[in-house]
Amino acid sequence: MPAGAGRPSISVVICCFTEARWELLLSGIASVRAQTFRPEQLVVVVDHNTDLYRRLSLYGRLTGALTGVETVENSGPPGLSGARNTGVAAATGDIVAFLDDDAEAAPDWLARLVLMYEDPDVLAVGGRVEPVWESGRPAHFPEELDWIVGCTHKGLPRVAAQVRNVIGANMSFRGDVFGRVGGFNASLGRQSDRPLGCEETELCLRASIGSPGTRVVYEPAAVVRHHVPAARGTLRYMLARAWSEGVSKAQVTRLLGRAEILGPERRYVRRVLPRAVLAGIRSFTHDGDAGGLARAGVIVAVLAVTTLGYLHSLWQTSPHRAHRSDPILLHRLIRNKGGGRTND
């Protein structure tokens, strides 16, 4: 179904940075081209990787498989935010949708998103991100912590609802939002070995604050499937990512100067996590499921490390401190030995 009279046009942006995800990237591109609501434009942004850019260009010329796909190099600072801003600059559609380079969209993904924009007060729409575990979900990894791997966690609405922010792997914005409030903040988001995030959270908040009366909507029927490598199911990775999440939330709080923006996190901690911990303990005591006890313990550990990351980041930028320490020191101690960029 192409865009037509009364229907907004859509540009889809996929940002990539490594040849290690080559097959996943091609699958993601194919899923966009197979949409029931055809996008006006598909832009692939290569984040400062000349070899990957050349490979895409050569592959397109030799196979014709990328006909109509615009491949551009990130003209901004290295990192996911800079790459997304490059994609926004190249986009021509009324709506700009984003898909990760290790994700695949359901055939009706864009059709589901565009329906939400029939409400003129909606400025952004995100959808459900389902994990596809490379080696199966680890027994210690509860669904309530799926945000760690960039996916929709248990506890979010089951029907379309207003939310504070969308998830980066499956999100869209009206194109004029970027003209009004600017793009993704380049000081946030993943860069090199720093698995920070919340750039989409900060943009949604900035856009909502700048346009009172507008809404950000979560539509769980708009689905993408996100590949999760086995390494991201380890406790080491979970704690490293939790620390970085705390640091990122502190950065957003400082940038916007509003502590109340963390309302969804408070509700999540008060309502979702206690139920998950009790469920894990019950699973152990009633069914003898050792994984249940492990899940309960992991939830407590992740919450503690996230809180420490948040408080440490606020403390190390406090004007009362004469010297500032590295905000991701603990992350460097507990991250995977392989390091590297960890783009959700």
List, for residues 50-107, the tens digit of each pLDDT value: 999 999 999 999 999 999 999 999 999 999 999 999 999 999 999 999 999 999 999 9
**Is the per-residue pLDDT at 327 higher than 60?**
no
pLDDT digits (tens, 9 = 90+) for 206-222: 999 888 999 999 999 99
Number of domains in the chain: 1
Q: What is the pLDDT of residue 280?
A: 96
- CB contact at 8 A, 46 and 16: yes
Q: Within a domain: residue 253? A: no
Which range, of 82-96, 237-251, 256-270, 290-304, averages the lowest pLDDT? 256-270
Q: What is the pLDDT of residue 239?
A: 97
DSSP H helices in the chain: 22-33, 50-63, 80-90, 109-116, 175-181, 199-210, 235-256, 263-267, 273-287, 290-316, 329-334
Residue range 41-58: mean pLDDT, rounded = 98
Q: Within a domain: residue 246? A: no
**Is the per-residue pLDDT at 335 higher than 70?**
no
Q: What is the pLDDT of residue 232?
A: 96
Q: How do the residues of the chain divide into helix, strand and coil, expressed in percent and rounded to 5?
A: 45, 20, 35
Q: What is the pLDDT of residue 339?
A: 38
Count of Cβ atoms closer than 10 Å to residue 214 Cβ: 17
pLDDT digits (tens, 9 = 90+) for 211-254: 899 999 999 999 999 999 999 999 999 999 999 999 989 988 88
Q: What is the pLDDT of residue 218?
A: 98
Q: Within a domain: residue 252? A: no
Q: Within a domain: residue 279? A: no
Helices 199-210 and 235-256: crossing angle in degrees, nearest 10, is: 30
Under the banding of pLDDT at 50, 70 and 90, the label for residue 343 is very low
Q: What is the pLDDT of residue 186?
A: 82
CATH assignment at residue 61:
3.90.550.10
Which range, of 165-169, 185-189, 261-265, averages the lowest pLDDT? 185-189
Q: Within a domain: residue 31? A: yes
Q: Within a domain: residue 158? A: yes
Residue of higher predicted confidence among 2 and 177: 177
> How many Å apart are CA 295 and CA 94, to the nearest integer?
43
Q: Within a domain: residue 245? A: no
**pLDDT > 70 in the chain, percent:** 87
Of the candidates 164, 205, 169, 171, the residue with the CA atom closest to the CA atom of residue 185: 205
Q: What is the pLDDT of residue 338?
A: 39
Furthest C-alpha separation in the chain: 60
* Mean pLDDT over each residue of the chain, to the nearest integer: 89
> How many Å apart are CA 48 and CA 267, to the nearest integer?
39
Q: Within a domain: residue 313? A: no
**Is the per-residue pLDDT at 143 higher than 90?**
yes
One DSSP character per residue, 316-327 reads HT-TT-SS---T
Structure tokens at 1: 């179904």
Count of Cβ atoms closer than 10 Å to residue 69 Cβ: 17
- Close Cβ partners of 15 (under 8 Å, ≥ 6 residues apart): 44, 45, 47, 74, 80, 83, 84, 87, 98, 100, 101
Q: What is the pLDDT of residue 1?
A: 59
Tell me the three state secondary structure of residue 127: strand
Q: Which domain holds residue 55?
A: 10-232
Q: What is the pLDDT of residue 326?
A: 46
> How many Å apart are CA 297 and CA 302, to the nearest integer?
9
Q: Is 329 exposed, middle or buried (0-12, 13-18, 19+ CB in 10 A)?
A: exposed
**Is the per-residue pLDDT at 311 higher than 80?**
yes
**Is the per-residue pLDDT at 195 higher than 80?**
no
CA distance readout (Å), 215 to 185, 209, 280: 20, 10, 35
Residue range 259-288: mean pLDDT, rounded = 91
- CB contact at 8 A, 199 and 88: no
Under the banding of pLDDT at 50, 70 and 90, the label for residue 329 is very low
Q: What is the pLDDT of residue 318?
A: 66
Residue of higher predicted confidence among 263 and 327: 263
Of the candidates 155, 147, 169, 316, the residue with the CA atom closest to the CA atom of residue 232: 147
- CB contact at 8 A, 114 and 35: no
**Is the per-residue pLDDT at 3 higher than 90?**
no
- CB contact at 8 A, 216 and 165: yes
